[in-house]
A and B are shown apart, each in its own frame.
Chain A
Amino acid sequence: DTAVSQTPKYLVTQMGNDKSIKCEQNLGHDTMYWYKQDSKKFLKIMFSYNNKELIINETVPNRFSPKSPDKAHLNLHINSLELGDSAVYFCASSQGVGGRSVGGYTFGSGTRLTVV
């Protein structure tokens, strides 16, 4: 069983389209995250939810909207996609928030988004 699963794994789409990425964790963790990894491998936090409550909302264009229907799921919807949105998006989960997490973060396998 995959601990943190995200779909789709690859996403190629045209500029201006709207797309969603889904994430689910079966670890019973109470906190979930979205990270963006650029071509230089930099991992940048975008959003974090703790027990369905948004606790981190970094400086991200409001074209990005996260949704957490329950603590096992965290989705990311992106409107009006731009070329600069091309990156790998990782979902992650942890028990406890951020650096207080017990056992660190568990990352999903990533969604490689390519905007053409």
Chain B
Amino acid sequence: GQQVMQIPQYQHVQEGEDFTTYCNSSTTLSNIQWYKQRPGGHPVFLIQLVKSGEVKKQKRLTFQFGEAKKNSSLHITATQTTDVGTYFCAGFRGSTLGRLYFGRGTQLTVWP
């Protein structure tokens, strides 16, 4: 079954609005990774979070890892049309021999 749940599946925003996507796991994760896939493109690695409660920023993107290491979020401030794409989280459970479980992704559309 699906190991990592990600919501929402779709998000449409006006340029300048904020955007958040959420990832949840029923089990504790060793770490979580985030990827972005532009339309017609391939997933590109953005960041990895390892520590409980960790927060990392990349310009307008803020990534959080929950205290219990079961959830994570990606927040984009003041979206731009260049943010369009699908954002995936991918969780790793140390006991599963290298399996990185991808969420189903959130497809972000930004209207100018």
Contacts of A110 in B (CB 8 A): 42
- Of the listed stretches A15-23, A36-44, A76-84, chain B binds A36-44
Return the contact of B91 from the options A55, A56, A99, A101 (Cβ within 8 A). Answer: A99
Chain A CB within 10 Å — which of B29, B92, B102, B104 has the most? B102
- The proximity string for A residues 79-116 relative to B, scoring 1 for CB distances below 8 Å and 0 otherwise, is 00000000000101000011111011111111000000
Contact B107 A50 (CB under 8 A): no
What's the tally of chain A residues with a CB closer than 8 Å to chain B?
26
- In the complex, which residues 13-31 of chain B have their Cβ closer than 8 Å to any Cβ of chain A? 29-31
Contact B98 A108 (CB under 8 A): no
Residues of B within 8 A of A (CB): 29-31, 33, 35, 37, 41-48, 86, 88, 90-94, 96-100, 102, 104-105, 107
Residues of A within 8 A of B (CB): 31, 40-45, 48, 50, 55-56, 90, 92, 97-101, 103-110
